Structure 1
């Protein structure tokens, strides 16, 4: 049932005439100025000066979570609206305020140096191979392999953790991020080539042993182990989880967040 209806105080039809004059066809992803002329139970009606009244679903009001749409939806509210869909079959035009906000936020964020940027964001929801994170209303994807196991087990949506950007696709407004790389960049300054560190064995693979040093996982490759004249390639017979061994760093790959170590003399 219609809650209330008012007539626009502005003649947006003039805007429609201008569009017709220049033979401009409004299309999906256009951003147009409009005014809210009515609010119903789960959507608002918007006048964009077109032949058809547009529909603004409540879930397209804001990138932020809101408890009461009436806090933002006011009659005669004038703003910018993104055209999400022009469905000829249902004779409806669907618009979004959230889409406009996302575009402006993305453009603002795009001006920042992504390569050297660390953001703090929180998990929004789980996906099949990773999670969506929420950064000031923008959503980015992080694979599970780029999330420390501790954070994979945490379900606290209010927990902010660091992320580094791995890939940006401007045309689709998609960003892939890594928490492991962000944590690595934060801690790796404490790990330098030369000194001897005490590492803890966390997993044993056929190609080497992963050890944890100051919170960062490092690889002790099998070739470094065999250099010590050990006559076996069965690493499980040499190490077990929890063992502590003295190591030295031999190389650091900052871009991929990897550190290689060798047994200390």
Structure 2
């Protein structure tokens, strides 16, 4: 476990000079101090300057040892950052938020992902897709914290919980921002927060799209509307066609489509709500036994004959039990 910060002295120093393998630091001590490259940051670096270490920079360092060669003190920034990273992970777990982690390796049990600079383990049972470890390498995947134990150096994560959280928010008619992952003759696959949705060629625009590549390219960022969501199969259908202010805007002026996306989606949701209300009203017209009737002004209510003229007698209703 990386707990240098609790076992060694913390000092303030000024970077004197940098080199390929580290940096010399003035800590106003009789002996010189050295910051090795591997101790400059919680992340792997090729040069200390990637961690913001330049001549003249002042930092708080941890003294982690002494060089046997010349008795110079060995400093670390990495140990301080580890303590902060564990604290941040505990906070994120308490808030139950979704984070992104980059997969760097894998084994028979799962994959290792970097989160807040720490190596966390994601068991295959906690990965929502049936992907092999090799397929996930170098990919960023959404994750939630399952276990954060600094004393045991255990950081366990779940992609399945993160995906379930994200999918719960995918309401029909909602607008989300996505990135074009790949193009197929029948449509484009869009990454919407770690979930792959299909933007079918027929749902890109009201105007016919003969070649998807003339409208979209991998890496493009766009706004799409959730058209349908099959949670059991994990399939999400998307549309930009429904977001067009006028037919063909997605081809001629996609910027306008994205600017008006929320407004157009709101109109779409209102139309759906009205259609559902009309369908319920029609159903009740043919079901008088339901005890409800539709007034001339379209308001649903109980049949007038069911209510006594003097109102309801509530005196015999017992109080609710605690």
Aligned to 2:102: 122
Q: In the alignment, is residue 143 of structure 1 matched against residue 123 of structure 2?
A: yes
Q: 1:56 to 1:126 in 2, by over 3 A?
A: farther
C-alpha RMSD of the superposition: 3.6
1:118 CA drift (Å): 2.0
Q: In the alignment, is residue 167 of structure 1 matched against residue 147 of structure 2?
A: yes
Q: 1:112 to 1:45 in 2, by over 3 A?
A: same
Aligned to 1:76: 56
1:97 CA drift (Å): 1.8
Residues in 2 aligned to 1:126 and 1:149: alpha-carbon distance in whole angstroms = 14
1:120 CA drift (Å): 1.8
1:56 CA drift (Å): 1.1
The answer to which structure has the higher strand fraction is 1
Q: In the alignment, is residue 104 of structure 1 matched against residue 123 of structure 2?
A: no
Structure with larger RCO (C-alpha < 8 A, sep 6+): 1
Aligned to 1:251: none
Q: In the alignment, is residue 214 of structure 1 matched against residue 233 of structure 2?
A: yes
1:76 CA drift (Å): 2.5
Aligned to 2:218: none
Q: Which stretch of structure 1 is more off in the superposition, 30-39 or 88-97?
A: 88-97
Q: 1:70 to 1:108 in 2, by over 3 A?
A: closer
- 1:38-97 Cα offsets, whole Å, 9 max, x none, are 333312122334443222111322334555434533222210113334466884533222
Q: How many residues align?
A: 169
Aligned to 2:15: 36
1:115 CA drift (Å): 6.4
Aligned to 1:224: none
Residues in 2 aligned to 1:27 and 1:94: alpha-carbon distance in whole angstroms = 16
1:138 CA drift (Å): 3.4
Residues in 2 aligned to 1:128 and 1:79: alpha-carbon distance in whole angstroms = 42
Q: Which stretch of structure 1 is more off in the superposition, 133-142 or 104-113?
A: 104-113
CA contact (8 A) 1:84 1:96 kept: yes
CA contact (8 A) 1:62 1:97 kept: yes
Aligned to 1:203: none
Q: 1:169 to 1:113 in 2, by over 3 A?
A: closer
Aligned to 2:42: 63
1:175 CA drift (Å): 1.8
TM-score by length of 2: 0.43
- 1:91-146 Cα offsets, whole Å, 9 max, x none, are 45332223323323433443345362222211133357443212243332223443
Q: Which stretch of structure 1 is more off in the superposition, 174-183 or 68-77?
A: 68-77
The answer to which structure has the higher helix fraction is 2
CA contact (8 A) 1:34 1:48 kept: yes
Q: 1:151 to 1:160 in 2, by over 3 A?
A: farther
CA contact (8 A) 2:22 2:47 kept: no
Residues in 1 aligned to 2:126 and 2:163: alpha-carbon distance in whole angstroms = 10
Equivalent of residue 48 in structure 1, options 9, 27, 39: 27
Q: 1:85 to 1:133 in 2, by over 3 A?
A: farther
Q: 1:189 to 1:76 in 2, by over 3 A?
A: closer
Residues in 2 aligned to 1:106 and 1:98: alpha-carbon distance in whole angstroms = 12
Residues in 2 aligned to 1:70 and 1:88: alpha-carbon distance in whole angstroms = 26
Residues in 2 aligned to 1:27 and 1:88: alpha-carbon distance in whole angstroms = 23
1:177 CA drift (Å): 0.8
Q: 1:128 to 1:82 in 2, by over 3 A?
A: farther
Residues in 1 aligned to 2:137 and 2:46: alpha-carbon distance in whole angstroms = 20
